[in-house]
Structure 1
Amino acid sequence: MAGAPGLTPRPDPVPAAVRAWAGWSWRALVILAALAVGLWLLSVLKVIVVPVAVAVLLTVLLSPLVAALRKHVRLPRAAAAGTALVLMLALVGGLLTLAGRSVVNGIAELGEQARAGVEQLMDWLAAGPLQLDTADLDGYLEQLQDAAASSGQQIASGALSVGVTVGHVVAGALIAVFCTLFFLIDGRGIWAWVVGLLPRGSRERVHQAGRRGWVTLGAYTRTQILVAAVDAAGIGIGAAFLQLPLVMPLAVLVFFGSFIPFVGAIVTGSIAVLVALVTQGWGSALIMLAIVLVVQQLEGHVLQPFLMGHAVSLHPVAVLLAVATGSLVAGIVGALFAVPIAAVLNTVVLYLHGHDKFPQLGTDDHVPIRAKGHPVLDRAVAAAAEAESEARAVRGGSGGVTLPAAGDPPVTS
């Protein structure tokens, strides 16, 4: 019996290092299992989760406009939120309408040029270094046609799945619009309710971490719009210089594709190179490829390190790995949301471990908020200052960050 007089306790045969590694191992397995369950739940509820995430990004983007409408036009919060949302939908709809008209007007010409390009390719295969026989080429084309005809059932099932996907997209768009409207109108009450679900002792730290995460998310969103606009302008101007068809659709496609850092602009830029190849040949395609590479170098060596690095405090390698991981886990949606999620988690975890990225925010309502340095962060923190001053007025000027029933969201204004 251990501890009895005259008896020496038997030493533990398992080394201390092995016990430590075993302890870390089972804890890591539990964490991975919890993450797997969380990802599975997200995949099941993606029709709800993705629109809500889009609504959060739109709320961050439109909050300064709502604040400006309330301050300069003297609109009530609900009217300002509705006006900002309508203006955003009108802008997006206008861009898509212009792109759609350009596609309708140029698709016939592009189709003819594509057929001519295919014929030139067939002639090159027959007369070029490969010296393929015309009969062999015709046989390959017949095999392709037979394969397409035999896959009619698969095409029908694919069309059905596309119809279901379109229904999900429409439902998700409606959810995103309504959530954005209510986040802009009553985001503070929603945030106060969420924080109020937590134990009383942790509410203050979660509230402060959320404020900082909101500033980071706002800085990321505005900076990414600037980066996407530069990419779209560069590739669009290059396509217009080469007098390619479908310049407006290509620019719009590059703009939206650039919201996936690094990868999006490369993929959409390759479409511009393909259009140049089909319509004008190898010379224009090479020039368009050079333009795309120059734009990518500008983004990779100037915009991403300086603008995005200051906005989210993530190394470009971390950004690239986050995009790769997100695309592996959830496809395009994962690649789109990987960087903002990683940036917010980085800010929140740093704050919870005592490394505050935004000491200007403070924890006291009476501490004035100042920001110097990056212009995007300056605007985001200034929006936080306005939100805090309005919160003081609502609470009657009481000091300290409190969470009453109608408290504040992180930093929305």
Structure 2
Amino acid sequence: MFSSLLPEPVRRLAAWCAVVLLVTGVAAVGVWLCVTFQAAVTPALLALLGAALLGPMHRRLVRMGVSRSLAAALTCLAVVAVVGGATYVVVGALIDTGDQIVSALVRAGQDLAEHFGAAGTSLQDLASNAKELLAKFGGTAASGVITGISVVGEMIATAILALVLIFFFLRDSHRIAGALRALGPRSAADTVEAMARRAFLAVEGFMRGTTFVALIDAVFITAALLALRVPGALGLGALVFITAYIPYLGAILSGAVAVLVALADRGWVIGLWVLGVVLAVQMLEGYVLQPLIQSRTVQMHPAVVMLAITVGASVAGILGMLLAVPMTAAAFGVASELRARYGAPGQAPAGPAG
């Protein structure tokens, strides 16, 4: 055969190229299917993240003697109560302090324009023509009431479907392992189950760790803003909590907004103090909280996280940015399980992960 005439390094390179092309093709088809059926995929992924976050609560209720169905229903009701209350508080804080934040940002743009001359002219233009910019870039979204009602209705339907799926995921979680073993080949049943468990544990750890870290960041930064008497402190703290689910990028955006607001309303000294607080909180998160809280989950390099966020944003916008990192964590969990099973020559496959 012709392949026998090629040297061994060339044959290996050709084999790896074929594998890369195959994996890329499968991934491209998977992304295309997800985009095509996003009306069903989006609630399923959101429900998966919700089940990963709420799994410990459901398991605790089951251990207390509550039936699985009732425990799942109580967990979903708790989610509705907590999310509804948090949304009310966050939206109320943003509405109450929104004017202060916007006016402070406008003054920050004007101050920068005065200090830096021509370099800040664009900022001043953006501040003075904010309404025109909003009308220009938001024209499509605000073109008609029917479009707005349709978007809101789609969001409500997605949330309801995701909540229903969370109930079923929690209630039937003990059957999922058996279903996966039944779908896969008998010889690979243990591997398939172990991969699924490792992926879910990675997503579960990421969601719990991110929520806890976001809460700590929001509490520290809000307390500092209140102590420094920065306007809109509660709204800025709510913004810090929300954007914390977008790793690295969210912290940069919310921190920049807080610094600009403090700079415009309280002067350079307070602005520098806020900058120091934001940097200190981010260092605490990066060097203490993240390694301590997420030490048992898949650790990803910041460059991988940024690339995942970029790809997610290009595919599905803000929703893609939110889903990209936990899905990447699941993929890293699967790769870690495969490496543990087949990486070392002669190593016996381990049992399913706990």
Question: Common fold, TM-score beyond 0.5?
Answer: yes
Amino acid at match of 1:344: A
2:69 to 78, 81, 85: 78
- Counterpart CA distance in 1 for 2:210 and 2:282 is 14
Task: State the Cα distance separating 1:246 from its structure 2 match.
Answer: 2.7
After TM superposition, give the deviation of residue 148 of structure 1 in Å: 7.8
The unaligned stretches of length 5 or more in structure 2 are 119-123, 343-349
Q: SS at the partner of 1:311?
A: coil
- 2:110 maps to 1:121: yes
In 2, Cα distance between the equivalents of 1:258 and 1:142? 30
Judge conservation of contact 2:43–2:159 (CA < 8 Å) in 1: yes
8 Å CA contact 1:322, 1:339 repeated in 2: yes
- For residues 352 and 249 of structure 1, the distance between their equivalents in structure 2, rounded to whole angstroms, comes to 44
Give the structure 1 partner of residue 86 of structure 2. 95
Structure 1 counterpart of 2:14, from 22, 28, 32: 22
Q: How does 1:7-406 map to 2 (within 5 A)?
A: 14-72=6-64, 74-108=65-99, 117=107, 121=110, 125=114, 130=117, 154=140, 156-157=142-143, 163-355=149-341, 363=351
Alpha-carbon distance in 2 for matches of 1:332, 1:46 = 14
Report how far residue 206 of structure 1 moved: 1.0
State the one-letter code of the partner of 1:340. P
C-alpha distance in structure 1 between counterparts of 2:44 and 2:31, whole Å: 16
Structure 1: stretches of 5+ with no match in the other structure: 3-9, 132-137, 357-361, 365-380, 385-413
Match of 1:400 in 2: none
TM-aligned CA distance change 1:123 to 1:315, over 3 Å:
closer
Partner of 1:407: none
- What letter corresponds to residue 305 of structure 1 in structure 2? P
- Structure 1 Cα separation of the partners of residues 280 and 305 of structure 2: 20
Work out the CA distance in 2 between the residues paired with 1:317 and 1:251: 26
Q: What is the rounded CA distance, in whole Å, between the counterparts of 2:99 and 2:86 in structure 1?
A: 21
Instruction: Tell me, in whole angstroms, the C-alpha distance in 1 between the residues paired with 2:133 and 2:54.
Output: 50
Q: Aligned in 2, Cα 1:181/1:148: closer, same or farther, shift over 3 Å?
A: closer
Once residues 349 and 28 of structure 1 are traced to their aligned partners in structure 2, the CA distance between those partners, rounded to angstroms, is 15
* Distance in 1 separating the partners of 2:172 and 2:276: 48
- Using the size of structure 2 for normalisation, the TM-score is 0.80
CA contact (8 A) 1:235 1:269 kept: no
In 2, distance between residues paired with 1:152 and 1:78?
Answer: 44
Give the TM-score, by structure 1 length: 0.70
- Deviation for aligned residue 1:103: 3.3
How far 1:225 sits from its partner (Å)? 1.6
Contact 2:100 2:232 in 1 (8 A): no
Moved more, 299-308 or 10-19: 10-19
CA distance in 1, matches of 2:137, 2:285: 42
> RMSD of aligned C-alpha atoms?
3.9
Give the deviation of 1:113 after TM superposition: 5.8
Structure of greater Rg: 1
Distance, in Å, in 2 between the alignment partners of 1:297 and 1:77 is 41
- Counterpart secondary structure, 2:329: helix
| CA distance in structure 2 between the partners assigned to 1:149 and 1:54 by the alignment | 31
Partners of 1:339 and 1:81 lie apart in 2 by 26
Distance in 2, matches of 1:142 and 1:284, equals 25
State the 1:177 CA deviation: 0.4
AA paired with 2:213? V
Whole-Å Cα distance in 2 between the matches of residues 343 and 34 of structure 1? 19
User: What amino acid does structure 2 have at the position aligned with 1:81?
Assistant: A
Q: 1:14 and 1:156, CA in 2 relative to 1: closer, same or farther beyond 3 A?
A: same
Aligned to 2:345: none
Deviations 1:322-371 (A, max 9, x none): 44444444443333233322332223233234449xxxxx738xxxxxxx
Which residue identity does 2:46 align to in structure 1?
Answer: V
Change (3 A) 1:65 1:231: same
CA distance in 1, matches of 2:51, 2:125: 56
1:399 is aligned to none
**For structure 1, which segment, 174-183 or 278-287, has the greater mean C-alpha deviation from structure 2 after superposition?**
278-287
Matched to 1:39, the amino acid is: V
* SS of equivalent to 2:297: helix
Change (3 A) 1:163 1:201: same
How many Å apart are 1:307 and its aligned residue? 3.0
